[in-house]
Structure formats: structure tokens, C-alpha cells
Amino acid sequence: MAALPFSTTCRHSSSPLHHNSKSSFIGFSQRNNIWQLLVITKSISRKSIRKLSVKNVASDEKQELKDPLAKRDTFYEFIPDSASIASSIKFHAEFTTPFSPEKFELNKAFFATAESVRDSLIINWNATNDYYERKNVKLAYYMSMEYLQVLTGFIEAELLGPYAEALTKLGHNLEDVANKEPDAALGNGGLGRLASCFLDSLATLNYPAWGYGLRYKYGLFKQHITRDGQVEVAENWLEMGSPWEILRNDVSYPVKFYGEVIPGPNGSKQWVGGENILAVAYDVPIPGYKTRTTINLRLWSTKVSQEEFDLQAFNSGDHAKAYAVLRNAEKICYVLYPGDESIEGKTLRLKQQYTLCSASLQDIIARFEKRSGKRVNWDTLPDKVVVQMNDTHPTLCIPELIRILIDVKGLSWEKAWNITKRTVAYTNHTILPEALEKWSLTLLQDLLPRHVEIIRMIDEELIHEIISEYGIDDLDVFEQRLKKLRILENIELPSSVMELLSTEETSTVDPVKVIEVEDNDIMATEKEEKKDDDIDDDDDDDEVGEEGQEEDNENLSIEEDTDNKVEVRFKVDPKLPMMVRMANLCVAGGFSVNGVAAIHSKIVKDEVFNEFYELWPEKFQNKTNGVTPRRWIRFCNPDLSKIITKWIGTEDWVTDLEKLAILRKFADNEDLQLEWIEAKRRNKIKVASFLKDKTGYVVNPSAMFDVQVKRIHEYKRQLLNIMGIVYRYKKMKELSAEERREMFVPRVCIFGGKAFATYVQAKRIVKFITDVGATINRDPEIGDLLKVVFVPDYNVSVAEMLIPGSELSQHISTAGMEASGTSNMKFAMNGCILIGTLDGANVEIREEVGEDNFFLFGARAEEIAGLRKERAEGKFVPDPRFEEVKAYVRSGVFGPYNYDELMGSLEGNEGYGRADYFLVGKDFPSYLECQEEVDKAYLDQKRWTKMSILNTAGSYKFSSDRTIHEYARDIWRIEPIELA
């Protein structure tokens, strides 16, 4: 068979993933993804004649009628030589890129090259989906509000050459072209990057799965650093579009807000009126590494149908009114995590979460029905579908699935509730109260009235299960248990529960007196009349004997007190808000709850959800996070990757990270150490060049590169780091030049991360870091001994640059507050040594790399509550060095900005925003002493390099491949399915 041109695209007319030639090329992906995707062409053309099975558009109609999922295969051959690649790029430059035809500049070259790569990628994409449908496999659907998505796969020599050669012929350099791709603004931190690592591993390991998310137009924000600190501007990642995603105009679902609920037959309800929008699908291929499996990430964008446009208002000049409905729908997907200080902001966030849940579940159900054929057995839904909620943002999946099953599909409450409990699973990512979402019942009732009804029913089911398990003999204990377990907070108990409680109270009355009342019809009647009519006059007292009156009054008093006691005990406090606790709903409505690191999962079971754990211990498990080695070593650190491959003797470590452990036996080898040092040096030179371009600061590549890059938050304690730097600077200033050189190891201290726009304290920390840096970096006495650099707009591209060149990485959160952390894994994989507390995955990393190869300091998680209690009692005595630093900051040495509020947060014994809740002062002396140990170790470069090698060797357990295997085995119960 003759080889077809490389740009040939095979289309599946019946596949939901078929290539839409009219698709919008609106943005997605990551700088250099084009390099990564080139490996797909290798899997398509291995040995230059790789054969692919694709659906023939002209397949036998009779066969299609007999078996709608039957496929007849046609085999094509692809030979990605530079000439055919160049032709493909030229074709796309002329016909598909959103640029004018007369020029072939870098942006246009990027789009055309990426389109060329995507042509071949789509074939595997469609084949994978068709194969899953034919086999009717169980699929895992990963639901996340964030994806810091990057397409995986890596450039290899035989592909680099042809693409580089083709672009050279067309007047461009491959690296320059690849660098034109912007980061996708679909996430902010570890939550989103974890989701993307998981998708990479799912595809690479051939697990059947899809991801669902929202397609944010502006993302979180682009961070600028000015004299005033952080400034937020809209992210422009979609400004020119992207070639990776494909708009699916034929895949859209209605999403409703507000309205009212009308009773229907058999317990169903009809949700009518209100605001209606459409969620439209954009699909992004997620290719596996050296496998044909290519799974899908479906992102939802929002709009309204054209009928909603008020043409009459527009023509009459009321343009704002005409566009209002359109803008109201579109803004749902404008910004990741819109500010929620206002009711409008809260409403928008809730709309985002429900849009993700509703559109995704409608899509999942439609796909399940299609695979089921004409007769759908809903009992098999949990056997074919599992929905994994990535944190509490997708919690509304639970009531939404029940709503669809009852109101749309006609199932009973019992069946829908049972199916939902076997379909949905929950990953908890935090113990911070603000991240364990609560929503106002009033807001939910207004926006999603049907869902509030369903949540009330789930809450009632939960309470009855609690009663069934524990009884209600002790109402004090029962009340405390409800405060921990209920989904609804400060909301009246269901009537069915109140009846049980009243009956229970009555049953504790003296049985003799009860019998007397029950046997005396007249007395019972009079008693009821008194209760109903509230009669309490002397005439009635005279009508019964003294003894009878006393007995009657006693019984009456008991019954009245019973009702009153129950109502008083469980009454709603009008001063407190009525809330819905989303994390409790996740635990009650899901079949699995997992933490993301060993210590975090223990805290989840022992503290956060202890009462739930006692009720359902079988639900709880640990799944320590992991990161993809394809992205975080193989691609971002090619120099180190070559060394690893050479000394291990195979490149299989890229998909089997346990092979990194082989490096341990070479850790003392001088040849390996020399190669290791040289690779790190080259990476540091790249970082120094990057910092100069990005910030203007010139740093010495021979200094230690000390890095803390992550979301700016008080619990992550960037404040502890910068205060340690201030102390170091102050001590330097007190010494002569010669003494400074003898006592201090040169350091470049690098920060990066975004503070949420309304998080005032976090923004003060950013301002403080940049002020300290501006002062130190201009100090001629200090010179290259100390530099402080804040890298603006930290994202995946920046991480890929910084991590390979880092030597010390700071993971210094208050113990017990970081669920896992995944950046610590990325740094360790790249031979960077960690300084940190026993928090999150630090605990397990330290165990694997060895205690001597991890710099540990700070209070332990089990000590934190006691330390805060001591602080509240006024027993904390700050270290003199801590007080010295605060006074130095207040002296104005770092500029005119008033840092009283920031320093004040570290003082006092109680009060919001004070009392050093995150224990910076407590851990400060331990931190300084640990940093002295860091300096000593760095002076011995042979020891330091060995530590670096052992960190890489010990990170073998922190691959997302291992994590996904555990999810698939223990939670999702799915099997890998590799295409034939």
C-alpha cells in the first residue's frame, strides 16, 4: 500500500471524537507540548510503517445494522519524513491557522506545526474511544475544577530530526516555534497539576478514563509584580487560540438555575422556569507515552441559544438588555475561582460547580445509554461508570445524579440513592476549614431548589442510619454526633426524626404512670384538652380529686417537657447561618473516601471525619499522590534523563520509576557524581539566564539555588522563609566582608506563586518578599552572597525551568496542614534536596530518600493543637532572634511600606489574623538551626551530590503511575485495556 501524506486525517462519522474540520482553534496546552506530541507520530509509524486500525467511512451498511458497534478496518501507513512533514505544515499554514496568508511568522508556524502533529494524534484518539465502546468497558470519569494540563509524550531523536529539518526548510527553528505556545490557564496549583498527571498516567497505563473540567477564558489571573506588590490582570491564553482542542457543537447539554419544583408521578419532580444555559463541549486529546491509547479531556464552555438574544431590545437601542442574558451565561466560564466576597461572587462560583457536575453527568449518562443499547439496566451503572470527585468542588454530582435518575429516568428514590452511593467516590485534599466547602442553604435553595430537596432527603437518610447504628438513648451524645455528621448545619431536624426523638423521650416516663393515664379514658381526654386548649384555671382543678389532679399534672408536665426538651435541644439558632456541608455530603453519598498522603489520611480518619470513619471504616483509605516522570524528569530535565538512562542501562524507568532505585548502588561513584554535578550546573545556567530575562536580576550560577515555588498561603509559610532570609541578611550586615565570605554559603533564594486576589495577608507576604529582594539585591556590601528573586506569574513552564536547576527546595508548611504536596516529589525526582516539616508527602519522601538526605525541622502534627492552646493561654515565649527580625522589619530597612499588620499577625494570643496561628514563631529557631546544617552540607560537594543522587533514587515511589494503579485496583475496579 502506498504511503499517504503525513497530513491525512481519518474521520469517524459516528464517533463522538471525530475531527471537526470547522472546529475552533481556541486555546489549550503548554509551552513545548508540540515537542512532546511528536512521540505520537512515532507510535503511529514505528519502524516507519506502523499500521493503524481506523474505521472505514464506507463500511458495510448491513453490518452496521446488525451490530451498531461493529467496525471494519482499513489500514493506512504513515511515514513521517521531513518532506511530508513540511508539506503538512504548509497545508495547515495556508488553510487552517487563524493568521493571514502572506506571512509565516513564529506564531503561525507554531499553529501549523501543532495542527500537523494533531492530525496523526486524532487517529489514535478515535480508535481508543471506538475500542472502549465496542468492548463496553467500565470507565473512570475524573471530575476536577482545575487542570494545569500539559499533553504528554516526548520528543525522540528520529522525530526531532524530521520536524527540525522540515521547519528549517520553512525558515524556522523547532525550539523557537515550540516556545510560542502559552500555558493553559485551566488551574492554579497542585490540585490542577495532580489532575493532569493522573490523566497522563491513565493514558500511558492504558486505563479507560475521561477527564471533565471547565474551559476558563481567563483562568485565575496573570500576575504582575510592581512596587505595590502583586497586581492581577486577565490571563490572555486564549487570545490567539490553540490547535489542540476541538469544539463539539453537536455535544451540548442544558443546565438550569433558579425556577421552581413541581411534584410529578412516583416521587419524581419537574424543575421548571428559571434561567437556562447550554454547556458546550471542547475536547482535548491526552496521549499516552509509547502506547496508542489516547484518552479525552472534555472541557465545558457556556452560552445560551440564539433565541435568548433580545433582538427587539437591541433594535430599540437597549443594547445592554439585549446582551445581558448572553453575558450572564458566558461569564460562568470566564474566571477560575471568581472572588466570593459578594453574594454575586458566591453565586457565580456555585454556578460553575453545578455546570461542571450537570453537563458532565448528562454526558456520562448519555454515553452509558448509548453503550447499553435499547434496554438500559440502571442497576449496572456502577459496573460501567465510576465518578471520582477531585476535592469538594464537584460535590453536586451526588444530588445531580439522583435528580437525573429520578426526575428524568423515572427511577425510585431508593434505587437512585443506592446507585449513586455505588458510583461516586471522593478525594479529600485538605483539612483547612475554608477548603471544606460550606454553602448557604438560602443561596442553594434559590439557585438549585430541586437539589436542596434531594440534599434534605440524603441528610434524613444519614440521620436514620446514625440512629440505626448508635440508637438515641443518650440524647447528649446523639446531639454531638449530629453536629459532626449532619450534612445540614443549623437546620431543623426532619419530622421523621423528631417523631422518633419525642417517642424516645416519652418511653423514659415511669411506666406505672403511663399505664394509669392510658387506662383512664376520661383523664386522658381531659389531659389532651388541657394540652390543646392551654386550660389552667381553678374551675378545672376542682373537677378532679387532689390525688388525681397531682397525677394528671405530673403526666402533663412530662409530655410538655418532652416536646419542649427535644425542640430546645435541637433548635435552630437564628443568629447563625444555615449551611450545607459539602464534604459531609461527599462522604455520605460516596462509596470511597481517600486522603492523599499517609499522614493526611490519618488526620482525615482521626480528626476531620473521625465520626464518619467510626460509622463507615470500610470507606476510608489512603492514596498518596504522585507526579508523572514523563513530564517532570524525562521532558523538563533531558540532561539528567540521559545520565539516569546511562547508569541504569535502560530508558524503561520512564514508565517504571522503581528502576530509579538502581541509582542507589552508584551514589558514591565519582564518575556518576561528576556527570551529575555537570548536569546540575548546566541547568543552573539556564535558570540564571531565565531569571535575568524575567526579572532583570543577575545571579551567580555558582551559588546555592534555594527555591520555594507554590501557591502563596499562610499555612505554606513563605513568611517563615523570608524572615529567615532577613535574619541571614541582618547577620551578614553585622560582619566584615571577609567574615561574611567565611561564614555564609552564597545563596540565590527564589520565590514564585500567586496570592488569591482577595487574600490580603498573602498579598502582603508577596509585597514583603519583593521589598526584601529589592533591598538585598541592590546592597553592594552583600553582592553575590545573597540574592532574593520573586518570579512573577509562576506556572508549569516556569516550574519546568526552575526545578531541574534547584538544589534546595522548601516545603515548610505547618505540620498537619498540607494534605500531600506534589512539588516536593518533582524536586526530589530532579535531585533537589528538601528542607521541610513532617507534613504531607514529606513524611514518605523522607522515609524513601533516607533521614540523612532530608533536612527536617519544626513541630510535629500531633503537637500543633497543644501548642496553639499554650499560645492562647499566654505561655509562648518567642525566641530572641524572632523578635529581632520583627523589629528589624519594622525599622523600615526594607522601604516605607507599613508592615505592622503583617508582623502583628505573629503576635498576641488570640484574635482573628493574630496569635501566629501557623506557628511561624514557634518553628523559627528550629528553622534557623536547620538552615545552618544546610550550609555545612553544601560546603561538602561530594556529600551534597550523593544526597542529590539518593533523592532521585528514592523518589521511585512517587510516580503518578503507582497512584493510578492503586486507584484503579482499590477504588475504580477498572482494568488496563491496550488497543490491539
Q: Which of 300, 360, 299, 290 is nearest to 124 (CA)?
A: 290
- Phi and psi at 631, nearest 5°, equal -75, -45
Burial class (CB in 10 A: 0-12, 13-18, 19+), 194: buried
Amino acid at 389: M
CA distance 916 to 909: 8
Hey, is 361 helix, strand or coil?
helix
- Helix-then-strand count for the chain, H and E: 39, 24
> Strands 833-836 and 704-709, how do they pair?
unpaired
521-533 vs 511-519: helix crossing angle, rounded to 10: 100
429: annotated active-site residue: yes
775: annotated active-site residue: no
Q: How many CA atoms lie within 13 A of 213 on its CB side?
A: 29
The one catalytic residue among 71, 108, 710, 922: 710
Amino acid at 851: E
Query: End-to-end distance of the chain based on CA atoms, in angstroms?
Result: 21
Q: What is the DSSP string of 269-323?
A: EEEESSEEEEEEEEEEEEEPTTSS-EEEEEEEEEE--GGGS-HHHHHTT-HHHHH
How many other CB atoms are there within 10 angstroms of residue 254's CB atom?
12
The one catalytic residue among 826, 846, 868, 957: 826
Amino acid at 117: V
- Residue holding cell 534523563? 641
Hey, is 120 helix, strand or coil?
helix
Ramachandran area for residue 55 (φ above 0: left; ψ -120 to 50: alpha; else beta) = beta
716: annotated active-site residue: yes
CA distance 827 to 451: 43
CA distance 360 to 253: 9
List CB contacts of 179: < 8 A, sequence separation 6 or more.
31, 32
List CB contacts of 120: < 8 A, sequence separation 6 or more.
6, 40, 41, 44, 78, 80
List CB contacts of 191: < 8 A, sequence separation 6 or more.
144, 145, 146, 390, 391, 429
The one catalytic residue among 97, 814, 822, 837: 822
CB 434, CB 391: distance < 8 Å:
no
List CB contacts of 816: < 8 A, sequence separation 6 or more.
431, 599, 603, 839, 861, 862, 864
The one catalytic residue among 217, 634, 716, 946: 716
List CB contacts of 452: < 8 A, sequence separation 6 or more.
441, 444, 445, 580
Hey, is 525 helix, strand or coil?
helix
Q: What is the DSSP string of 766-798?
A: HHHHHHHHHHHHT-TTTGGGEEEEEESS--HHH
CB 654, CB 630: distance < 8 Å:
yes
CB 863, CB 838: distance < 8 Å:
no
Hey, is 226 helix, strand or coil?
strand
- In the chain, % helix, strand, coil (3-state, to 5) comes to 55, 15, 35
* Size of the chain, expressed as the number of residues it contains: 980
711: annotated active-site residue: yes
Residue 222 DSSP label: E
C-alpha cell at 513: 404512670
Is the C-alpha dihedral spanning 20, 21, 25, 26 positive or negative? negative
Bridge partners, residue 749, by sequence: 706, 788
Burial class (CB in 10 A: 0-12, 13-18, 19+), 869: exposed
**Enzyme catalytic residues:** 429, 710-711, 716, 822, 826
